[in-house]
Amino acid sequence: MGSNCFLFQALYFCVPFRDQLLEYYANNKNTGDVEENMLTCLADLFSQVLLQLLVVVIVIPVISFSTSCISCSM
């Protein structure tokens, strides 16, 4: 499983490859004549990863930890 993860990461972070694959997937995912193969499965996986990255929300706290510690000690 470990070597598959490295291979996936290498392919995913090859930006031109990823962009072309995602473009192909977006244009052809709804057509019924696209057969399922290694490339289409990889495109589906890349698409799922991209969607997961878009869902992640970063919350920046209004009061930092150090500020709250100082106010609690007073």
Q: In this model, does residue 25 exceed pLDDT 90?
A: no
Per the prediction, the chain carries an average pLDDT of: 74
What is the rounded CA–CA span in Å between residue 27 and residue 13? Answer: 21
Confidence grade of residue 47 (pLDDT, cut at 50, 70, 90): confident
**Distant-in-sequence, close-in-space partners of 26: CB < 8 Å, separation ≥ 6:** 47
Residue of 35, 57, 38 lying closest to 46 (CA atoms): 38
Q: What's the confidence (pLDDT) of residue 68? A: 46
Q: In this model, does residue 2 exceed pLDDT 90?
A: no
Q: What's the confidence (pLDDT) of residue 69? A: 46
Q: In this model, does residue 73 exceed pLDDT 90?
A: no
Q: What is the C-alpha end-to-end distance of the chain, expressed in Å?
A: 53
**Distant-in-sequence, close-in-space partners of 40: CB < 8 Å, separation ≥ 6:** 25, 34
User: Rounded to two decimals, what is the model's pTM?
Assistant: 0.62
- Look at the chain and report how many structural domains it folds into: 1
The domain containing residue 21 runs over which residues? 2-73
